[in-house]
Structure 1
Amino acid sequence: MIAQLRIFVPEPLSDAVVDCSTGELGVAEVSRQRGASVLPPGDVIHVLVARESVEALVEKLHALNVQEQGSISVSMPELVLSDRADKATADAPGEGADAVIWDEVSRQTGEDSRLTWSYLAFLILATQLAAIGIVTDSTIAIVGAMAVGPEFGPLAALAVALVQRQWTLGRRAAIALGVGFPVAMLAAAFTAWLSVPLGLFPADVLDRGSAADFIYHPGPYSLIVAVLAGIAGMLSVISRRSAALIGVFISVTTVPAAGFVAVALVLGEYEKAAGSAIQLALNLVGIVAAAVAVLVFYRLVTKRLPDAAALRLKRKAMRAKR
């Protein structure tokens, strides 16, 4: 898997960036256009590099303060036909699908963790769907609520913030969760409060056995499912496989639990509300803890891969000399 870096740098930094790029393991091509950048004035450098080597190269560019005086953009070409690129990918440590580009992960999760009107709207709509599914005993509505809920974005951002110590990102994610869920639950409680006197559902609806009973009965599997979902979700973010996130959304009961708490409180079912609140907490904690574990594991592995690859190439060169 090949990535392309486009680097805008002032002319005094240009030679250092070229030297840095050409000396990196996994780099296939480096080209420079002198004076091509108008704002900021300077050079434009293109680097074709194996995806698994992008993080190491970006770290070196950060050390040169390229991002402060210019810019670095990373893209993934759909098709690259090049023997040099194939060789660079083979020489680079690890696999492209497993490579973590930390700036990419931070930006992606950061964009999904902001407390925006659209985020609030989706969370409110999802909680309303969950509440409707609970009072109508509709499994389809509950599953739909899971799919609509946008809560994984802030949860993933919180995990990244803890691992990378990006406290601004963590604070933003915590605000999105801390404000979003109470607002969504209040909206669901208000509609439930209006619905009872209108006769849309009976006041004893939660006393009748339903498919939603599992929501207020947290147990070991509640945490296990949350952990598995957190692992799958973070792996999908790292490997850029967004389709897998749908499975994550419909496997955890964060939004249904929030909806159940709202409905149960309105109907005076405080014990069931407490059980649902515990279910919600278990899911949130399990997802974040699992996502943190995945990121820590990848950080440890990716630190060791370059050294192993360099040793492998050194041995290969020594055998060639013989």
Structure 2
Amino acid sequence: MRVVTPAETTPRVRELFEAEPGVAHLVVLPGAAVKPEGDLLLADVARECADSLLSALRRLGVPRDGSITVEPLDTVLSDAAVRAEEAAPGEGSDAVVWDELTGRIGEDSRFTASYQAFLTIACLLAAIGAITDSPVLVVGAMVLGPEFGPLAAIAVGLVLRRGAFVRRGALALVAGFPLAMAVTAGATLLFDATGLLSSGTLDHLDEVAFIYQVGPFSFIVAVLAGLAGILALTSAKSASLVGVFISVTTVPAAAFASVALVEGRLREAGLSALQLVVNLLGIVIAATLALLVARRTRRRRIRGVARPAG
């Protein structure tokens, strides 16, 4: 953790670091900061202590008058660091660093050209996978889809009461999916015109029929995926997100709804659209509940951190 702070605030910031059991290798460099002017403090902080420490630094007004930078450390060879890690309460892999989460969600939830490109390509791949009855292509499209970022942003916004996050995530979903589905519908018309697709092609899709088969397990799987996704984001185990993407049928449902609608198969189109809505709602509900529990745990921990003097 790197902190730039005015000289008059440095003693209180230093007290915070020294009082935190999960801090090692504290370095104070008076007058090292030039823009803005102030002192520079460097410290290695156990992940399970980071969130409460950041909250205390915010109460001191450090972000207003200086800055706080947090960077993950992959390898630290130090007995002092080991002792700090052992002294810190809880497990680092279970700790939620809310500032890190909001920063990451903020980047992943924006409605950008790259987001739309990934979503559109994913829908096209899913459409081709459905047409060819290829579960491999459908799974590939699931992994490629970027929709979990906006869904997580909505959940974070609801829990932290940040309307900007909710609006940003909703915009990415409400604008992104219809655009991707429109392009997929256009591609379907092209496939029809070139003889690559006909309505009869959709008669035998045994391998990918799960796309439009909506049932109780559709919602249950979406809830489990939402829980797993948020846990992966908050515990810094992003590799687990791949499994989350494969679990939910958002992109394939959106893609197949477009294909079925163009081919005049209204029942399958309607069921696919319903599958999409069920999955989106299940993920948001589960992620919101998981974050509420984490938020309550955080508040309990912050109450145990002594407020800085003065």
Specify the TM-score bucket, using the shorter chain as the normaliser. over 0.9
Aligned length: 306
Q: Tell me how far apart the structure 1 counterparts of residues 206 and 113 of structure 2 sit (CA, whole Å).
A: 33
Measured after TM superposition, the shift of residue 128 of structure 1 is 0.4
Measured after TM superposition, the shift of residue 308 of structure 1 is 7.5
Moved more, 8-17 or 204-213: 204-213
In the alignment, is the contact (CA less than 8 A) between 2:30 and 2:39 conserved in 1?
yes
User: Does residue 9 in structure 1 map to residue 5 in structure 2?
Assistant: yes
Q: Tell me how far apart the structure 1 counterparts of residues 48 and 209 of structure 2 sit (CA, whole Å).
A: 46
Measured after TM superposition, the shift of residue 305 of structure 1 is 4.5
Q: Give the TM-score normalised by structure 1.
A: 0.90
One-letter amino acid of the counterpart of residue 166, structure 1: R
Residue deviations 1:217-250 (CA, integer Å, cap 9, x gap)? 1001111111111111111111111211111111
Q: Give the TM-score normalised by structure 2.
A: 0.94
User: Does residue 195 in structure 1 map to residue 196 in structure 2?
Assistant: no
Q: Tell me how far apart the structure 2 counterparts of residues 84 and 121 of structure 1 sit (CA, whole Å).
A: 47
1:137 alignment partner, SS class: coil
2:28 alignment partner, SS class: strand
Residue deviations 1:56-110 (CA, integer Å, cap 9, x gap)? 1100111111112111011222222333332322222211111111000001111
Measured after TM superposition, the shift of residue 307 of structure 1 is 6.3
What residue number does 1:173 align with?
Answer: 169
Q: Tell me how far apart the structure 1 counterparts of residues 138 and 302 of structure 2 sit (CA, whole Å).
A: 46
1:77 alignment partner, SS class: coil
Identical-residue share of aligned pairs (%): 49
In the alignment, is the contact (CA less than 8 A) between 1:133 and 1:140 conserved in 2?
yes
User: Does residue 230 in structure 1 map to residue 226 in structure 2?
Assistant: yes
Q: Tell me how far apart the structure 2 counterparts of residues 304 and 85 of structure 1 sit (CA, whole Å).
A: 25
Moved more, 16-25 or 141-150: 16-25
In the alignment, is the contact (CA less than 8 A) between 1:134 and 1:212 conserved in 2?
yes
User: Does residue 36 in structure 1 map to residue 38 in structure 2?
Assistant: no
Q: Tell me how far apart the structure 1 counterparts of residues 87 and 161 of structure 2 sit (CA, whole Å).
A: 31
One-letter amino acid of the counterpart of residue 164, structure 2: T
Match of 1:99 among 88, 95, 100: 95
Measured after TM superposition, the shift of residue 309 of structure 1 is 9.6
What residue number does 2:180 align with?
Answer: 184
One-letter amino acid of the counterpart of residue 172, structure 1: R
Match of 1:249 among 245, 249, 252: 245
What residue number does 2:20 align with?
Answer: 24
In the alignment, is the contact (CA less than 8 A) between 2:198 and 2:263 conserved in 1?
no
Instruction: Map residues 1-322 of structure 1 onto 2, 5 A cutoff.
Output: 5-305=1-301
Q: Tell me how far apart the structure 2 counterparts of residues 209 and 57 of structure 1 sit (CA, whole Å).
A: 54
Q: Tell me how far apart the structure 2 counterparts of residues 176 and 308 of structure 1 sit (CA, whole Å).
A: 39
Q: Tell me how far apart the structure 2 counterparts of residues 269 and 190 of structure 1 sit (CA, whole Å).
A: 16
Moved more, 206-215 or 66-75: 206-215
Q: Tell me how far apart the structure 2 counterparts of residues 306 and 62 of structure 1 sit (CA, whole Å).
A: 13
Measured after TM superposition, the shift of residue 133 of structure 1 is 1.0
Structure 1 gap ranges (5+): 311-322
In the alignment, is the contact (CA less than 8 A) between 1:159 and 1:288 conserved in 2?
yes
1:249 alignment partner, SS class: helix
Measured after TM superposition, the shift of residue 165 of structure 1 is 1.2
Q: Tell me how far apart the structure 2 counterparts of residues 104 and 309 of structure 1 sit (CA, whole Å).
A: 20
In the alignment, is the contact (CA less than 8 A) between 1:93 and 1:306 conserved in 2?
no
